[in-house]
A and B are shown apart, each in its own frame.
Chain A
Amino acid sequence: MSGTTELSFIRRYVFSTDHKVIGRQFLFTALAFFTLGGTLAMLMRTQLAWPWQEIPVLGKLLYGNTGNILAPEAYPALVTMHGTIMIFFFIIPILSGALGNFLIPLMIGARDMAFPRLNLLSYWVMVPAFLVMLAGFFVATGTAAAGWTSYVPLSALPDMIPGSETGQTLWVISLMLVGTSSLMGAINYITTIVMLRAPGMDMFRLPMTIWALFVTAILVTFATPVLTAALILLLLERSIGTLFFTVGAGGQAILWQHLFWFYSHPAVYIMILPAMGIASDVISTFSRKPLFGYKPMVYAIMAIAGLGFIVWGHHMFISGMNPLLGMTFMTSTMMIALPSAIKTFNWLGTLWRGDLHLTAPMLNALAFVSTFVIGGLSGVYTAATPVDIFLHDTYWIVGHIHYVLFGGSVFGVFAAVQYWFPKMFGRMMNDGWGKIHFALTFVSFNLVFLPMFILGAYGMPRRIADPYQYDMFAPLQGLNQFMTISLYVLALTQVFFFVNVFYSLVRGKAAPSNPWQANTLEWTVSSPPPHENFHKVPTVYRGPYEYSSPLVAEDWLPQDRFVDGARPPAVPESPYPAASPASD
């Protein structure tokens, strides 16, 4: 079946069907885009602190023809590309692409994904997406500049902003490719989790990371086609002059917003659910204690996903949508805070009477909990429609989304990378440097993003290249400068992370198979795992979180270890032909 030794270098490391290799490919490309998206953020914040000043170093490189100064059309382009790259090329690929790929087969006890070739394709469809999006930086009129939300008609009519010429077309094509890749991944994940679980691994013995990735894949499957449809309509509107979004010709400009948010609100959960799963696994492991309320945690994920499909209108409270609809969307939006609250309480419940080991991954997971709380609670203000009249499209929203996506997802990523790095690469990351990175990131992150709520309370709108044109926002320049300097610190701090990752790759201490004494199946095989993961498909006897069980002397009890007195596997024999991919 497997011809490990005969695979050429190209088949093994470039066009590989091995989920572990594909996971690493997604990891490194996503990290590269993280630095690009961060660089764009620094340019943006430099402009907000010292508008229309010469930008050192990068200014010469990027804005040489305008005297090293941002041109007015460059700022919306920065805003657009920062959002697009961070969402579609960093957070989604690193959570679903990198961690999903690497972890799903290993954590459910399978030898690979159900469709290894489709998996290969899901990465290689992303590559042209990267190239097409990056090409925007090299066309004369620049990248897309209508915001990551690309509201029509700004994004549809080329003469409304330079970015809406070629750049917007590239943006649309690139995102169609991203969507295709996401769908391929999602179908593969769902099939793999449903079909290829090891004997005894019932659905309710899956680790939370897998549950989260599973529900995320379902979200992707149902939401992405709607985005793709919207992108096709926009492409037609731009290329052959259809009038789907043109009022007076039977179209509606608002239609874009409905279609876009029908995808993009669930997309927020696509970006946060996997991080919630990661936090659950990491917190339980380092509390040496079972996850509090496993089933409520699973149901909460499902509730978030379900409600996630009926809240999209809260992005449109002041769009001119019928205000009566605003009431129903407000109610569903308020209610979606509930499952998030339940999850938070259960994380606290897990810590309660635990034995907390504050390693770098654990600290990042705890940072996830504490900052996600701010992200969630700040959303309650904007869910309240009357308050949202004021806060909508101000920096309050920017603060809210960054507390969810940086405070939530990115701390989740830091936790995950440091937790699973030994398994991925067979070497340990340096925990001390990890802690320094954590502490500096946690402080500077809050210094950058907490003041955004103050800007929002002043009504400072987002996407404004020079807020100080307004007398009412002029007093905010000092605060903006403080935030920008904090961002420089935050960005510099990431050097610690990257050096730690790359140094550890070559020089890190060799990792044992189970460095954290964790229970889940990936820790039962060598680090890194062999080709096809398991020499013998494991049998699962219990759930993933039996830490400090009285059945054994140690404070961990792997899922596949048989112990007298333990419940026998619910399914003694696998009902499926073999927990191994079809071929290859």
Chain B
Amino acid sequence: MGGLVPGISTIAAPIDRLFTVVLIVTGVAFVLVEGILITFLVKYRHRKDRRATFIHGNRTVEATWTIVPGLMLFGLAIFQYGTWREAKIAFPDESRAQLVGVSANQFEWNATYPGADGRLGTPDDLAAPINLLHFPVGVPVIIELQSTDVIHSFFIPVLRVKQDAVPGRPVRVWFEATQSGQHELACAELCGLGHYRMRGQVTLEDPAAFEAWLGELAARQAGG
């Protein structure tokens, strides 16, 4: 029993660590409960002269198995706050991040990159070909995600990033990749009959290569 598929973003390590913590806690609980269940089934199976013990419960035992797991579960919840905050609430400083606009519609992803003015939504934006997304490695990437028709969900498993794109409600999501390579972007929310083929090709590359790619986009756009 391994963990999740290997991750390559800054948030992957803390998320995977939490997965392991939950795996240990639930694993111990699972083994204990199933172990006791099987032991009892064997030990107390019907025998000719056996009579069950007439017991209705035990206050101390009840209090113990209420308070101990209660505190553990509450602690487990609190333990998640920091990583959740890092993933979804505390965004990196925009000035040192790469902004990318991603617009989803049935059944494609359209990425746009800021032009010379460094801002999205201006005439000099660079539009990438459909379903092609490039992101720099080692730089925080802030995605301005939107949908123009139904709900889609932006999911790159290796980056541990998933965010629904709700029409009319743009939302920001961020990640910082730590390794270059070719990966896939999946739509994770049922969006129509072509949902299964709403697949984006993600290229993670070092900042120099990324800038070069942006340059190509700009040249193509200028050329016509």
* A residues with CB within 8 A of B: 71-73, 75-76, 79, 145-147, 151, 153-154, 157, 160-162, 246-248, 252-254, 287-296, 318-320, 323-324, 326-327, 330-331, 333-335, 337-338, 341-342, 344-346, 348-349, 351-358, 366, 369-370, 373-374, 377-378, 380-381, 383-387, 389-390, 392-394, 457-459, 461, 463-467, 469-472, 545, 547-550, 555
**Which residues on A sit within 8 Å (CB–CB) of B106?**
160
Q: Given the complex, which residues of B lie within 8 Å of A337, measured CB to CB?
A: 69, 73
Question: Min CB distance, B87 to chain A, in Å?
Answer: 6
CB atoms of B190 and A330 under 8 A apart: no
B52 at interface (Cβ–Cβ under 8 A)? Answer: yes
| B84–A549 CB distance below 8 A | no
Residues A353 and B151 in contact in the complex (CB < 8 Å), given A335-B73, A358-B46: no
Report whether B37 and A351 are in contact in the complex, using a CB–CB cutoff of 8 Å: yes
Are B74's CB and A253's CB within 8 A?
no
A466 touches B193 (CB 8 A): no
* Stretch of B1-9, B112-120, B135-143, B205-213 lying at the A interface: B1-9
Contact call A384/B18, Cβ cutoff below 8 A: yes
Inside 8 A of A353's CB, which chain B residues have their CB?
44, 52-53, 55
Q: Known: A247-B168, A386-B15, A389-B160. Contact between A549 and B190, CB under 8 A? A: no
A536→B220 CA distance, assembly (Å): 91
Partner of A331, one of B34, B41, B55, B74: B74
The complex places the Cα of A71 from the Cα of B160 at a distance, in Å, of 32
Q: Tell which of A319, A344, A369 touches B164, judged by Cβ atoms closer than 8 Å.
A: A319
**Chain A residues, Cβ within 8 Å of B80:** 330, 384-387
Complex interface: stretch among B94-102, B122-130, B195-203? B195-203
Tell me if A356 and B151 are in contact (CB < 8 A): no
The residues of A that contact B10 with a CB separation of less than 8 Å are: none
> Which residues in A have their C-beta under 8 angstroms from that of B73?
334-335, 337-338, 380
In the complex, the chain B residue whose C-beta lies closest to that of A323 is: B88
- Give the shortest distance, in Å, between B5 (CB) and chain A (any CB): 5
Query: Can you list 13 A-B pairs, Cβ within 8 angstroms, ordered by A?
Result: A72-B196, A75-B196, A79-B190, A253-B169, A295-B57, A333-B77, A335-B70, A353-B44, A356-B45, A373-B33, A389-B88, A458-B157, A472-B183
Q: With A385-B80, A472-B183 as known contacts, state yes or no: A549 contacts B54, CB within 8 Å.
A: yes
- A154 touching B46 in the complex, CB below 8 Å, given contacts A352-B40, A389-B162: no
Quick one: closest A residue to B197, CB to CB? A469
Is B195's CB under 8 angstroms from A465's CB? Answer: yes
Chain B residues in 8 Å Cβ range of A346: 57, 62
Query: Looking across the interface, which residue of chain A has its beta carbon closest to that of B201?
Result: A471
Q: Are B196 and A466 in contact (CB under 8 A)?
A: yes
Looking at the complex, which one of B47, B88, B167, B186 makes contact with A153 (CB distance below 8 Å)?
B167
B200 CB, nearest partner CB in chain A, Å:
10
Task: Say yes or no: A370-B37 contact (C-beta < 8 A), given A79-B190, A290-B55, A349-B57.
Answer: yes
CB nearest neighbor in A for B65:
A345
Contact B155 A254 (CB under 8 A): no
- The answer to the question of B179 belonging to the interface, with a C-beta cut-off of 8 Å to chain A, is no
Which of B2, B66, B78, B187 contacts A338, CB < 8 Å?
Answer: B66
User: Are A393 and B188 closer than 8 Å at their CB atoms?
Assistant: yes
Residues of B that sit less than 8 Å from A by CB: 2-5, 11, 14-15, 18-19, 22-23, 25-26, 29-30, 33-34, 36-37, 40-41, 44-47, 50-58, 61-62, 65-66, 69-70, 73-74, 76-78, 80-81, 83-84, 87-89, 106, 149-151, 153, 155, 157, 160-164, 166-169, 171, 183-184, 186-197, 199
A545 to B57, CA, bound (A): 12
Q: Is B157 within 8 A of A374, CB to CB?
A: no
6 new A-B pairs (CB below 8 Å) besides A324-B89, A335-B73, A355-B50? Answer: A160-B150, A345-B65, A354-B40, A357-B46, A387-B19, A472-B184
B154 and chain A: residue at smallest CB distance: A318
A-chain residues with CB within 8 Å of residue B162 when the two chains form the complex: 318, 389-390, 392-393
A290 and B5 CA atoms in complex are apart in Å by: 47
CA distance A469 to B187 in the complex (A): 12
Q: Out of B61, B163, B166, which one reaches A349, CB within 8 Å? A: B61
Please give the distance in Å from B22's CB to the nearest CB on chain A. 5
Alpha-carbon gap, A385 to B58, bound state (A): 36
Q: Is the interface of B mostly helix, strand, loop or mixed?
A: mixed
Q: Which of A153, A287, A369, A549 has the most CB of B within 10 A?
A: A153
Cβ A342 vs Cβ B194 within 8 A: no
Are A380 and B190 in contact (CB-based, < 8 A)? no
Q: Is the CB of A354 within 8 A of B52?
A: yes
Cβ contact within 8 Å between A380 and B26: yes
CA distance A162 to B193 in the complex (A): 8
Residue among B5, B54, B70, B106 with max Cβ neighbours from chain A (10 Å):
B54
Q: Which of B18, B163, B169, B196 contacts A387 (CB 8 A)?
A: B18
Contact B45 A154 (CB under 8 A): no
- Nearest chain B CB to A253 CB, angstrom units: 5
Given contacts A380-B25, A387-B22, contact A320 B169 (CB under 8 A): yes
A151 and B184 alpha carbons, distance in the complex (Å): 25
Give A70 Cβ to nearest chain B Cβ, in Å: 11
> Which residues from A are CB-within-8-Å of B196?
72, 75, 464-467, 469
Minimum CB–CB distance from A243 to chain B (whole Å) comes to 11
Q: Is the CB of B30 within 8 A of A374?
A: yes
A322 and B149 alpha carbons, distance in the complex (Å): 22
Interface pair B55/A356, CB less than 8 Å apart? no
Residues on the B chain within 8 Å of A393, using CB: 153, 155, 162, 188-189
Distance of A548 Cα from B49 Cα, bound (Å): 12
Q: B84 contacts A327, CB within 8 Å?
A: yes
B188 to chain A, nearest CB (A): 4
Chain A residues with CB below 8 A from B58, complex form: 293, 349
Judging by beta carbons under 8 Å apart, are A471 and B184 in contact? Answer: yes
Query: Which residues of chain B have C-beta atoms less than 8 A from A331's C-beta?
Result: 74, 77-78
> Is the pair B44, A358 in contact by a Cβ cutoff of 8 Å?
no
Interchain nearest-CB distance for A508 vs B (Å)? 23
Contact present for B45 and A342 (CB under 8 Å): no
Task: Collect the chain A residues with CB atoms within 8 Å of residue B167's CB.
Answer: 153, 247, 253
Q: Which of B46, B61, B199 has the most CB of A within 10 A?
A: B46
Tell whether, in the assembled complex, residue B25 and residue A254 are in contact, meaning their CB atoms are under 8 Å apart.
no
A366 to B151, CA, bound (A): 41
State the Cβ distance, B29 to closest chain A Cβ, in Å.
Answer: 6
Q: How far is the CB of B213 from chain A (nearest CB, A)?
A: 21
Asked if B76 and A384 sit within 8 Å, CB to CB, the answer is yes
Q: How far is the CA of A353 from the CA of B45 in the complex (A)?
A: 9
Q: Find chain A residues with CB under 8 A from B62 CB.
A: 293, 296, 342, 346
* A469 contact set on B, CB distance < 8 A: 196-197, 199
Q: Give A291 to B45 CA distance when docked, in angstroms.
A: 17
Q: Are B51 and A151 in contact (CB under 8 A)?
A: no
Min Cβ gap A357→B in Å is 5
Report B-chain residues with C-beta under 8 Å of the C-beta of A291. Answer: 56
How far does the alpha carbon of A378 sit from the alpha carbon of B192 in the complex, in Å? 28
Given A253-B151, A390-B4, A461-B187, decide whether A366 and B55 contact each other with a Cβ distance below 8 A. no
By the criterion CB–CB under 8 Å, are A334 and B76 in contact?
Answer: yes
Q: How far is the CA of A290 from the CA of B55 in the complex (A)?
A: 6
